[in-house]
Amino acid sequence: MNLESKALDRVLSGMPLFSGLEAECLTRLAGHCRMLSFERGETVFRKGDEADGFYYVFDGKVKLFFVSERGSEKVVEVMAPGMTFGEAVMFINKPYPVFAETMAPSHLLFVQREGLLEAMQHHEQMALRLLSGLSRRMHAMIASMEAVCVLSSRERVVGYLLNELESRESAVIELAATKAVVASTLNLTPETFSRIVHGLEKEEIIRIQGRRIEVLDPHRLRECSAC
């Protein structure tokens, strides 16, 4: 996806983080941005790479993960369109602490640190939006850590399904990633995740069709979170 400066201006103005910026400021910021194209399974950055900017997912999907000494992956988060990643560490001159890899053909907008810092100096609201986004991410990560430390495997899966259900108008959940990736974000093995969801299916609480999970009885599913 090749975008000229004016097209980049329009992309930036459509991002909540940059809405309200003056045209001149958007043009300067666009000079510090570039749209990058990736095929599925390509590395965006590696753990230890210099964090000289952040990424906005224009379309596609990206997973952030660690790799253990044995070579197994621990997925931290899956980034969907409209989400950003890499912005926290670029302010403290630290390298990226995780790996980032595309899970589908993706277009990512890369915003260099220098351009972002310049824009923040001229737009206080943008700085507040960035801090708000980082705070929400930190809150979500703490909640995830609490779930891993306190909740049982079944409670984690039920909590994940309930959280997904809240963001949808219907009772149908389309998993954003493979079951193995979802299991990793919950700190579970794929086998444990499958065993639990198939157990819920046998109890006629959900119905599974590939990545599609239909919640047949939301009330009983909520009751499971207190089991």
Q: Domain boundaries in the chain?
A: 5-130, 151-224
The per-residue pLDDT for range 67-120, each reduced to its tens digit, is 887 778 888 889 999 888 988 888 788 899 999 999 999 999 999 988 888 888
What 3-state DSSP class applies to 149? Answer: helix
Q: Using CA atoms, how far apart are residues 54 and 64, in angstroms rounded to an integer?
A: 13
Q: Which CATH number fits domain 151-224: 3.90.1150.10, 1.10.10.10, 1.10.220.10, 1.10.3720.10?
A: 1.10.10.10
The answer to whether domain 5-130 and domain 151-224 are alike in fold is: no
Flag whether pLDDT at 4 surpasses 60. Answer: no
The rounded percent of the chain whose pLDDT value lies above 70 is 92
- Centre a 10 Å sphere on the Cβ of residue 50 and count the other Cβ atoms it contains: 13
The more confident residue out of 168 and 36 is: 36
In this predicted structure, what is the pLDDT of residue 117? Answer: 84
| CATH annotation of 5-130 | 2.60.120.10
Are 186 and 193 contacting, i.e. CB atoms less than 8 angstroms apart? yes
pTM higher than 0.95: no
DSSP symbol at 16: G
- Centre a 10 Å sphere on the Cβ of residue 226 and count the other Cβ atoms it contains: 7
